Amino acid sequence: MVKTRSYKLLCPIARALDRIGDRWTLLILRDLHAGPARFTDLQRGLTGIAANLLTERLGKLVADGLVKKVDGGHSTSVYELTELGTHTSDIILDLALFGGRFKPDGDIVQPGNLRTIATTMGAAAKRIVSHEMNFRAAILVDGENMQLIARDGKAEMHYTTCPSPDLIFSTSYTDLLALSEGEIKLEDFARSHSQLEVLSPGKDIEFLTLMSGIIELLNG
């Protein structure tokens, strides 16, 4: 039985915090917005969380209807967001925008699986994508595979390999973070801190337009 704590208040903010306010819970949701993940994938990305605490947090998220555990094939199980869980996307992005106002404290551990990039960029893309954009982009960050898809006024980005991409974009986590926090200008980033291989002519304009909008949003 999953232990639950409650503010026992009528306020909808308090009711939301009853579900997602515990330590690590929002970071678990953050990683799952990048796509389904095994328990070990989540544990690897959430540096410092104990296995029993991750089990408890996942159990509560499942009980609250935000996450579900499904068959991942090959005798494995994966966790993924429910439809209700996907509605935390804007919360995650707004926290990222707010957190970008502060400098990191102490020694920083880079995320083990870089899912945070797919989540943050994907949520930003959803806010600014236009109906004219139609492309599939393979994004490599420190060699890790992600895909950004824009189609019919919708966008999504996941931590997975992109089949048949229109373009391939490569960069590093540190350079991308510096760009999103305004430490590198977009022109300098494009020239010296990233590579773009265009496989479908013309799609690079759509991709760069969306990327510019994402960075402008993240820079506040």
pLDDT at residue 55 is higher than 70: yes
Please name which of 117, 111, 124, 110 lies closest in space to residue 140, comparing C-alpha atoms.
117
Class of 115-218 per CATH?
alpha beta
Please give the distance of CA 33 from its chain centroid, rounded to a whole number: 5
Cβ–Cβ contacts within 10 Å for residue 166, how many? 21
Q: Which residue type is seen at 15?
A: R
pLDDT 10s digits, 59-105: 999 999 999 999 988 889 999 999 999 999 999 999 999 998 888 77
Q: Assess contact for 64 and 113: CB atoms under 8 A.
A: no
Please state which of the ranges 12-26, 105-119, 124-138, 199-213 shows the lowest mean pLDDT: 105-119
Band (108; pLDDT cuts 50, 70, 90): low
Please name which of 186, 188, 161, 153 lies closest in space to residue 35, comparing C-alpha atoms.
161
Quick one: pLDDT at residue 182?
A: 84
With respect to CATH, is domain 12-87 assigned 1.10.10.10?
A: yes
Q: Which two tokens stand for residue 18?
A: 């009853």
Band (127; pLDDT cuts 50, 70, 90): very high
Q: Which two tokens stand for residue 192?
A: 């010296």
Q: Indicate the domain borders of the chain.
A: 12-87, 115-218
Cβ–Cβ contacts within 10 Å for residue 99, how many? 11
Q: Which two tokens stand for residue 13?
A: 């903010």
DSSP-assigned beta bridge partners for residue 42: none
pLDDT 10s digits, 35-54: 999 999 999 999 889 999 99
Gyration radius of the chain over CA positions: 18
> What is the value of pTM for the model shown?
0.92
* DSSP states along 12-52: HHHHHHHHH-STTHHHHHHHHTT--B-HHHHHHHSTT--HH
pLDDT 10s digits, 129-179: 999 999 999 999 999 999 999 999 999 999 999 999 999 999 999 898 889
